[in-house]
Structure 1
Amino acid sequence: MVSRIDRERVVETALRLLNEGGLDGLTLRRIAKELDVQAPALYWHFKNKQELLDEMATEIFRRLFRSRLAGGGPGPDCRWPSWQEMLVRTCTTLRQELLSYRDGGKVVAGTRMTDDTFAGPLELFLSSFTAAGFPPADAVTAWWTAYNYTIGLVIEEQSVHPDPAHPEVRDPAYDLADRESRLGAAYPLAARAGRQMFGDVEESFHAGLRLIVAGIEATYVRGKGSAGR
């Protein structure tokens, strides 16, 4: 029975089922049923759901680095015109990849990579900063800040638009008109904020990313010579 499946097939099936039912609906029992095996067969490959999620997150990054970042991202000879361009491109691509999986942000957040897939791209991302004059510690802080902003925003975005197959469909719980009606009289600024936070999420993402880039420039670049060039 065990020989009928391997880790790769389990993960591939899990990612497909993730898009059908989301993270809450993804169970080892459901995966086993889809693979037409008994649930204990999966424990030869994954001790628990967290181990499976770690491998799923790693596979998402493998696919990201193999495809979407491969052309404009971390190939062995990749160079960006500036660290600003690198940061915007990589975070934008990361967001797009995570949005292609239902609850993709939640799957990746807090998981541990099961191999060193991330190390090569991360080396190039950080090198883009250090080549511009950033000390290594500042390079890490700058990248980590933008990365976590992207992951966090994707989690929020996917709570509003949960189905990657229909990204235009909004969860009924995020009815902006209803929100404004409830809050408007007592909390006018909070009421109007909803349109910006939950309306055009694409623009909100890029606006926030611009603020991060500007913050990095203001914090690490001014008065520090070559950094930012």
Structure 2
Amino acid sequence: MAPQRTPKLDRRLVADTALRLLNELGLDGLTLRAIAAELDVKAPALYWHFKDKQALLDEMATEMMRRMTAESAQGTHPTTDWRQAYRVTMSTLRAHLLRYRDGARVYSGARFTDTSYAPGLEASLQLLTRAGFTLDTATRAWYTGYTYTIGYVVEEQAMGPNPFDGTEGYDLDARAQRLAAYPLAVAAGRAMFQDFDQGFEQGLKAVLAGAEATLLPH
């Protein structure tokens, strides 16, 4: 019987394996040693491709972007409405981050290793500048929505139920007991840490309205 051939080790394979393990282990449990074991290689073999864990996270974020870009391209319906495009762009980003355990933490601060992000960014900026934004204000409007989305999902994944291991989210009853003397803070917690879909949409609507009111020349 011929021995089973091991796929050639490259950056894409390592990143793909790391993303798969991420859903099992979480970001804190994801190590180069665990990835090497999954690939049936010695850990030092990975250092030929990634100098450290941050370099690996950059490639993982880039692979997430590649997948999102490819999927979005298949279902793209061009629009000249910059507001609709803005909402769709940020909602799509959130949906893709949520596919991965700690996905937003991986994505936050990553330096992409290729230009797969560029076509979408270029298209967004073109649409915003055609709507009347200057390049500077278009950039600020887009980046504000982008950072809002990533930050929201970081909190959502930290405080909400974890679909990957079945753990429940923030214990709001225990929080309410601690804050019994502060009824408004108790009520605010239930608004912040429940129905993350509605919370995201309300916040994104506020970001969009703010961008239009303060950055779009009138």
Give TM-score, length-normalised by structure 1.
Answer: 0.88
Deviates more, 1:22-31 or 1:80-89: 80-89
Percentage identity across aligned positions? 53
Measured at CA, do residues 162 and 188 of structure 1 come closer, stay the same or move farther in structure 2, by a change above 3 Å? closer
Per the alignment, in what secondary structure is the counterpart of residue 79 of structure 1?
A: coil
Matches of 2:54 and 2:158 in 1, distance apart? Answer: 21
Of 29, 34, 38, the match for 1:34: 38
Measured at CA, do residues 95 and 16 of structure 1 come closer, stay the same or move farther in structure 2, by a change above 3 Å? same
Partner of 1:227: none
Are 1:7 and 2:11 matched, yes or no? yes
Partner of 2:114: 115
Deviation of 1:71 (Å): 3.6
Partner of 2:3: none
Q: Deviations over 1:128-180 (max 9, x none)?
A: 1011111110000000000000000000000023634478x523xx1111111
Are 1:184 and 2:180 matched, yes or no? yes
Partner of 1:214: 209
Partner of 2:90: 91
Runs of 5+ unmatched residues, structure 1: 225-229
Of 163, 167, 170, the match for 2:168: 170
| TM-align CA RMSD | 1.9
Instruction: Write the letter of the residue equivalent to 1:107.
Output: V
Matches of 1:79 and 1:183 in 2, distance apart? Answer: 48
Q: Contact conserved, 1:105 with 1:155, CA < 8 A, in 2?
A: yes
Of 9, 13, 22, the match for 2:26: 22
Are 1:46 and 2:50 matched, yes or no? yes
Query: How many residues of Structure 1 are paired with residues of Structure 2 in the alignment?
Result: 214
Per the alignment, in what secondary structure is the counterpart of residue 111 of structure 1?
A: coil
Q: Contact conserved, 1:100 with 1:164, CA < 8 A, in 2?
A: no
Q: Contact conserved, 1:19 with 1:163, CA < 8 A, in 2?
A: no
Partner of 1:143: 142
Instruction: Write the letter of the residue equivalent to 2:109.
Output: G
Q: Contact conserved, 1:83 with 1:129, CA < 8 A, in 2?
A: yes
Q: Deviations over 1:178-202 (max 9, x none)?
A: 11121022x2211110111001111
Matches of 1:40 and 1:33 in 2, distance apart? Answer: 11
Partner of 1:195: 190
Q: Contact conserved, 2:80 with 2:127, CA < 8 A, in 1?
A: no
Give TM-score, length-normalised by structure 2.
Answer: 0.92
Matches of 1:3 and 1:13 in 2, distance apart? Answer: 12
Partner of 1:158: 157
Per the alignment, in what secondary structure is the counterpart of residue 121 of structure 1?
A: helix
Q: Contact conserved, 2:62 with 2:116, CA < 8 A, in 1?
A: yes
Runs of 5+ unmatched residues, structure 2: 1-5
